[in-house]
Amino acid sequence: MRVLMIVATFALGVTALAAAQTPAPAANPNELKVGDQAPDFSLQAGDGKTYKLSDFKGKQAVVVAWFPKAYTSGCTIECKSLAEHGDLIKKYNVAYFMASVDPVADNKGFGEMHKADFPLLSDPTKETATAYGVLSSPTGVARRWTFYVGKDGKIQAIDKKINVATSAEDMAAKLGELNVEPAKK
């Protein structure tokens, strides 16, 4: 019994030493941070227009709310929140979008179904999703992260914990926290 206790204690010591010497997993070196220049994009939306981030520089703040997949439950709830409570967001001088790696036709139908009065961007090549670090490796869909980009083109905030049911209210609150200027009347 005593030998067993000694062996167990030794094993715990070796395990603790190995854990202490094992480096923590490195953060994604390409992951964007607050203060970084937001990667420019040129993406087609379900409304038939193509939107470029650079077109807003110096004019408006931009919010890009990445979502995993059109027609799924969480994404439906988030889209409805933004469609039904977009008036809260429109109090600010901001252009806002939902974005996914779905085809344009999917986002068009999804937006129409939920009466979205904002563009749903499509990134079927996944290049922009990759540049923003939102592409999920195992599933190939975007993570539900929201990026707040200032008029200067720099990332002001990244929200990785989205409550889909209060997405619009939370987005408006964050715009207020970031001191985004009010919309011109």
Just list the catalytic residues.
75
Distance in angstroms (rounded) separating the CA atoms of residues 99 and 121: 4
Q: What DSSP string runs through 81-105?
A: HHHHSHHHHTTBSEEEEEEESS-HH
Distance in angstroms (rounded) separating the CA atoms of residues 21 and 7: 21
Cβ neighbourhood burial of 17 (10 Å; 0-12, 13-18, 19+): exposed
Element (H, E) at 37: none
